[in-house]
Chain A
Amino acid sequence: MTDTQTLVMGAVAYAPKVVTIWDGFKEYFAKRNFSFDYVLYSNYERQVEAMFSGSIHLAWNSPLAWIRAERMAHAANVPVRAMAMRDSDCDLTSVIVVRNEAPIKSLADLNGKKVAVGAVDSPQATLIPLDYLRSQGLKPGTDFTVQRFDVLGGKHGDHIGGERDAARALMTGQVDAACMIDGNHLLFISEGTLPQGQTRVLAQTPKYDHCNFSVGPSAPSDLIECFRTLLFGMSYADPEVRPLFDLEGLKAWKEGRVSGYQLLDHAVAEAGFYDARGNITVTDYRY
C-alpha cells in the first residue's frame, strides 16, 4: 500500500525515455519539497488495476486505460477523475491513408480491400479508425480485411512502431490503406517512411482526446492538490522543465477533460474490448 506522505504515480514503460521523464519530474518536485514517486508498469492493464488496489494514487493513463478505469470505477462505485492532460492530448484525429495512384476515391472503395491498423490496443491506429469505418457502413473483417501490426501489446499504441509498420506495408503494396494519427502522416513523410507526394488522406475521423493523469480512489486529496499546483506551475520557458516537456511531447499542461473520450468509448464497446465493468473481453490480446 502507498504511504500517505508520498504521492505515488503509475506510468507505463513504453520506451526507455520514460525513466528519464519521470525521474526528471521526481527531481523537480523534490526541489519544491513535494514527495513524489513513480512505479513503472509494463502494460496499462496492470496499471489501471493498481489504481484500484491502492498500489498507486494516480496514473499517467492512455485514453484506453482511462476508459477502463472509468468503467471499473463505475462498477465499484468509487470515484476516478481525469485531473490534467497535455495540450497535445486535445483534439487529435486519425486518418486513413492510401497510395496516391490507388483507385480508391471514397470510403466505399475500401470494400474488399485490406486495411492496415496498428496494435490491437491502439486507440489512434486501430480502435478509433475501425469504429469510424464501421460508422460509415464498412464492417471490419466483413467488408474489408484488417491487417494488424501488433507491436508491444499492453502499451496501447504509445509505441508508434505498429503505425509505422502499417505505413511501410502500404508502400510495399501489402495493404491498400493504413490508419495512423494525423501528426504521424506528416512525421512518416518527413522521416521518409512514406515518400513525399505518394500518399493521400482518404478520410479523417472526428476529434478525440488522448492521455490524462487519472486520479484513483485512494489518492489523498491534499497530495493531489499540491501535485496539481506544482504541475500547473510548470512552464516551457523554464529550462529545467523544457527537456522534460520535449520528451513527453507537450508545451503546457491543461485541465483534464473527459468530453474527448466518447469516440473511443464507443469504439471499445463496438469492438468488445472491455465490458461495462472494465473486464478485458477482447480475445486475441497479449500483454
Chain B
Amino acid sequence: MMLAEISPSPIIDINDLGLDRGAHLLIKRALRDVPVAAKLGVRGTAPDLNVHLMGWCRAQGHQLEFANNGTAWITRGDAQAGRWRDSEQAGGSDANASGAVADFPKAAWGLAARGATVEAGAPEFHFTFAAKETIWANEAAHIYAQAVAAQWNPDEAIDWSATVELPEEIEDAVVQVMTFLIENENAALLVPARFLGQVHPHFREVLQVLAIQIADEARHVEVFTRRAVLKSKRLGLSTAGGQASLKTLFEESEFAIASFLLSVLGEGTFVSLLHFLHLHAPDPVTRQIAKLTARDEARHVAFGMAHLQYQLKNDSGLRSRLAMAIENRFESLSQTAGLNEEVFDALVLLAAGQWSPEAIAQGYAKVQTLKEDMAEGRQLRLHRLGFDSSESNRLASLHTRNFM
C-alpha cells in the first residue's frame, strides 16, 4: 500500500487486491486516519472492485463516488466512531496494577477479557460472584502459576510396575482407603466446579485456580482408582454417614464458607492423611500417589486460606459465620457415625502392615498420632484466620470425623 499526497485527501493504491481477498483491511486502516465526513481515495485494478466497493461502503455506512479517472472516493461515515462511543475499559490485565481488578465488575463486561474495551450495550451476565470481596485472593495468580508448573502425568510420575505384593487383607485395607479417598475427591472436584460457572470472569486468576484445582482432583480420582483396582477386582465400602458429611459440604452456597469447610478444614486434614499414607503405606505405588496428591492438596489449602484472609479484612461478620458453619455442620452430623469404622480400621491395619498384636498396637498409635496432627493443623489454620487459641481448639475439635 502506498499513501500519496497528490490532493488534499489521501489516496491509497491497493493494486490488484480485491475486497474478495481482504482489501477492506487496507481501506479500514487508511480510513482510521481520515476524519468523519472527509474523503479517502482508493485506486486498484482488481476485477469487480467498484461493484464490491459499492456494497461494502453501503454496509459500512460510508458514501462512495467514482471520479472520471477511476479513483473511488470514500466519504467516511460516523458509524464506526459511534459504535465505540461510551465504550469502557473493563479494568486492567495486570492484577497488580492499581484499579486493574474492579471491586464490582459490571454485568455487561460479561465474558470480555479483563482490560478489554467493551462496547456499550453488551448483554448483561448475572454472575453470582460479581463482588471482588466474595471471591478474590491476592495470591491467586501465584498459586495458579505454581499449579501449572506442578502438574504431573500419572502415567509418568508413578511407577505402576513397582512390586505390590501385599497380604490379601492388607491389600483390602488399601483398597478401602482408596475408596474413601475417591469419594472425598469427588466432593473436592464438584464443589469448586459448582462455583466456577458462577464467578465473574473479570476475576480471571480465581477462575484459573478453580479450574486447575478441578483438574487436580480429576487426576486424584484417576490415580486413587487405578491403585484400588491394581490388584483387586472390586472397590471398598461407602457409608451413609460419610456421604451425609460430604453432602453438607456440597450444598454450601457461600464461597467463603465452602472454601473454609472444604479447603481449610477438609483438604487441610487430608494433607495430614496423605502425609501419613506417604510414610506408612505398605507399598511404593500408594506412597508415591500420596506424596504427589498431598502436594496438590496443600495448594488448594493455600488458596482457601488466601481467599479467606482477603475477605476477612473487609467482612467483619465472616469470622462468626465461619464458626457457625462448623457448629451447624457438627450439629447436623451429630447423629451420624463419623469416620466409618471400615476406614479407621483400614488405616490402622495399613499402618500395622501385619496382624501381630504388637504391629496392630503400633498401627493404632500411628493413627492416633495422625488424628492429633490433623487437629493441630486445623487449630493452626484457624488461628491464622484470626480465631483465638481457645476458639481455634474448640472449633478444630468440632470438625467432621469424616476428615473432609
Using a CB–CB cutoff of 8 Å, the interface residues on chain A facing chain B are 87-88, 90-93, 95, 181-187, 189-190, 196-197, 200-201, 204, 235-237, 239-240, 242-243, 249, 251-252
Contact = CB atoms under 8 A, between A and B. Distances in A.
Interface string B108-146: 000000000001110000000000000000000000000
B27 to A, nearest CB: 13
19 contacts: A88-B58, A91-B54, A91-B58, A93-B51, A185-B51, A186-B20, A186-B51, A186-B56, A196-B20, A197-B20, A201-B48, A201-B51, A236-B61, A237-B78, A237-B82, A239-B119, A251-B60, A251-B77, A252-B79
Given A90-B58, A252-B61, A252-B77, 20 more contacts: A88-B58, A91-B54, A93-B51, A95-B51, A183-B54, A183-B56, A183-B58, A186-B52, A189-B20, A190-B20, A196-B20, A197-B21, A201-B51, A235-B82, A237-B86, A239-B119, A239-B121, A242-B121, A243-B121, A251-B79
Interface string B69-101: 000000001110111011000000000000000
B54 A182 contact: yes
A97 to B, nearest CB: 9
A240 to B, nearest CB: 7
Interface in B2-55: 19-21, 47-48, 51-52, 54-55
Contacts of A93: 51, 54
Query: 7 shortest A-B CB distances, which residue pairs?
Result: A239-B121, A183-B55, A237-B82, A251-B61, A239-B120, A251-B79, A189-B20
A204 B51 contact: yes
Interface string B304-342: 000000000000000000000000000000000000000
A182 B119 contact: no
B93 to A, nearest CB: 24
Nearest to A184: B55
Contacts of B56: 183, 186
Nearest to A90: B58
A192 to B, nearest CB: 11
A200 B85 contact: no
B271 to A, nearest CB: 50
A179 B48 CA distance: 15
Contact of A236 (B52, B55, B58, B83): B83
Given A87-B61, A237-B83, A251-B79, A185 B52 contact: yes
Contacts of B149: none
Q: How large, as a class, is the contact surface on chain B? A: 20 to 34
A200 B47 contact: yes
Query: Which among A87, A196, A239, A252 has the highest number of chain B CB atoms within 10 Å?
Result: A239
A234 to B, nearest CB: 11
Nearest to A92: B58
B315 to A, nearest CB: 35
B162 interface: no
A240 B119 CA distance: 12
A93 B79 CA distance: 22
Query: Which among B56, B79, B119 has the highest number of chain A CB atoms within 10 Å?
Result: B79
Contacts of B20: 186, 189-190, 196-197
A184 B61 CA distance: 16
Contacts of A235: 82
A261 B17 CA distance: 34
Nearest to B82: A237
A158 B360 CA distance: 85
Nearest to B55: A183
Nearest to A197: B20
B38 to A, nearest CB: 17
B67 interface: no
A252 B60 CA distance: 11
